[in-house]
Amino acid sequence: QVQLVESGGGLVQAGGSLRLSCAASLRTFSNYALGWFRQAPGKEREFVAAISWISWSGGRTTYAEFAKGRFNISRENAKKTVYLQMNSLKPEDTAVYYCASRFQLISAREEDYDYWGQGTQVTVSS
């Protein structure tokens, strides 16, 4: 069974940083695009960042507007792990963060993703 397991969430003060990790059991990890989404209490789930299966310069990436300049997505194919480095965190970043994967093509649409983790809580205090 395919499993994605997130870790690295926690409580951090505004302006601080966290790095989230997601370990995937995908058989051919390098052939999958990976994404991060988040959901705050009472809010809809929203796209954060994604990275393509293409390995040129670490792969192509795309970010939500709020994440540009603050968040960075990367992957280590040998470890079958995707990361989300979050800097300059704000209270509005508080949410459950999920990683997801799909075959090959990068996407910002949650409905395009086939496999999901259970999420990790990020809480940013002011």
Burial class (CB in 10 A: 0-12, 13-18, 19+), 71: buried
Residue-by-residue DSSP string for 66-94: GGTTTEEEEEEGGGTEEEEEE-S--GGG-
pLDDT at 96 over 90: yes
Answer yes or no: is pLDDT of 57 > 60: no
For the cut 70, the answer to whether the pLDDT of residue 58 exceeds it is no
In this structure, the strands spanning 115-116 and 4-7 are unpaired
In this predicted structure, the answer to whether residue 55 has a pLDDT above a threshold of 70 is no
The pLDDT of 72-92, averaged and rounded, is: 94
